[in-house]
Amino acid sequence: MNKQTIKDVDWQGRKALVRVDFNVPQDKATGAITDDARIRAALPTIQYLLDHGAAVILMSHLGRPKDGPDPRYSMKVTADHLATLISAPVKFVGQTTGPDAEAAAVTLRPGEVLVLENTRFDKRETKNDPGMSQELARLGDVYVNDAFGSAHRAHASTEGVAHYLPAVAGFLMEKELTYLGKALEDPERPFVAILGGAKISDKIGVISNLLKMVDAILIGGGMANTFLAAQGYDMAKSLVEAESLETARQLIEQGGDIIQLPVDLVAAEKFAADAPFKVVPVNEVPAEWMALDIGPATIAHFSNRLAGAKTVVWNGPMGVFEFPEFAKGTVAIAEMLASLKQATTIIGGGDSAAAVRVAGLEDAMSHVSTGGGASLEFLEGIELPGVAALNSK
């Protein structure tokens, strides 16, 4: 990684303006945080800054507020939770920029933390408005981006502010770029990619880019249905992207033996957790039924291809893992990766990260990314705006 990090800065008596990714899942009824993994992922950066004499100002978005401030998405809930995870005083201000935010920043002392209000309560954020970027820059001395999950967005708090302050990476950002960067630039082989999830259209660029560098791509999930349909199989009521069939054919032709598809599927009568189901070969999906998971023969086939792998990147579940009966393929692949003690295993954020956590196997992986969309764009070979804006070494 050729970007400066927080270790390249003398923090004594300085204010660190840190973009974190505290966009955590919440209980719809109570607003309580249901998974604090993203907050915990930022703790090493926050603690390092505090230990080295900085006052720490944190900013993030939370949820998708449509019309400005919405109490359901206030960062107050994350500030309160953070206070239970660190020993430093954690303060909160109900503004992102402006007089109240500036006053809170001015009075903040070394060893203290201030959490700003939701950046997306200001509509200028997503427009990367220079005025908002300058107002944010007035709050700190050095900008730190530790929000890999938002680095693919050119927003005021992720890219714009970096033009008005010295800008460096936090430890989480550094870790993400190091693991994903090595996988793409200098992978230990065999290098295997596993791609799943609902849609092929989301991952066309990723597949095209990975075809140049991997030894195998194992495709499951809903996107496998489109590839199978492109080969002429009748997928009945399965999710198939008709507009992507020609692209799938081209990728199969381009990829040859590198692209590996399911040989059997778990087909269900309907899209429901309690739907009747059965395992069928890919050419025998019953009329009016739909494929919701990969079958046991596919699990064995994919596991065989993974057995000797030295680098594995996984993005997207193998089935509808929210339904326990159709999560078996995803869990089996997670267990297979956990058994690869000599391999570097990288889980590409989003649903695959959630699936690995649900399976209780997060600690068995080399790296679980905090950024679904960001890791996808990185794998596609796209330069992320939030990374490009950081100071080079």
Q: What is the DSSP string of 134-165?
A: HHHHTT-SEEEE--GGGTTS--TTTTGGGGTS
- Single out the residue of 306, 308, 312, 282 nearest to residue 294, CA to CA: 282
Tally of CB atoms within 10 A around 322 = 13
Q: Give me the sheet containing 259-260, strands edge to edge.
A: 259-260, 216-219, 191-195, 311-315, 344-347, 367-368
> What does the alpha-carbon distance between residue 20 and residue 10 come to, in Å, rounded to a whole number?
20
Query: One of 63, 94, 111, 373 is an active-site residue; which one?
Result: 373
Query: One of 3, 15, 19, 38 is an active-site residue; which one?
Result: 38
Burial class of residue 149 (count of CB atoms within 10 Å of its CB; 0-12, 13-18, 19+)? buried
Q: What is the DSSP string of 212-228?
A: TT-SEEEE-HHHHHHHH
- State yes or no: is 38 an active-site residue: yes
Query: One of 140, 350, 372, 386 is an active-site residue; which one?
Result: 350
Q: What is the DSSP string of 49-104?
A: HHHTT-EEEEE---S--SSS--GGG-THHHHHHHHTT-SS-EEE-S-SSSHHHHHH
Q: Which residue has the tokens 């109900």?
A: 94
- State yes or no: is 199 an active-site residue: yes
Cβ atoms of 142 and 86 closer than 8 Å: no
- State yes or no: is 212 an active-site residue: no
> What does the alpha-carbon distance between residue 373 and residue 384 come to, in Å, rounded to a whole number?
11
- State yes or no: is 381 an active-site residue: no
Q: Parallel, antiparallel, or unpaired: how do β-strands 264-268 and 216-219 relate?
A: unpaired
> What does the alpha-carbon distance between residue 137 and residue 160 come to, in Å, rounded to a whole number?
9
Query: One of 14, 138, 199, 237 is an active-site residue; which one?
Result: 199
Which residues have a catalytic role annotated? Answer: 38, 199, 350, 373
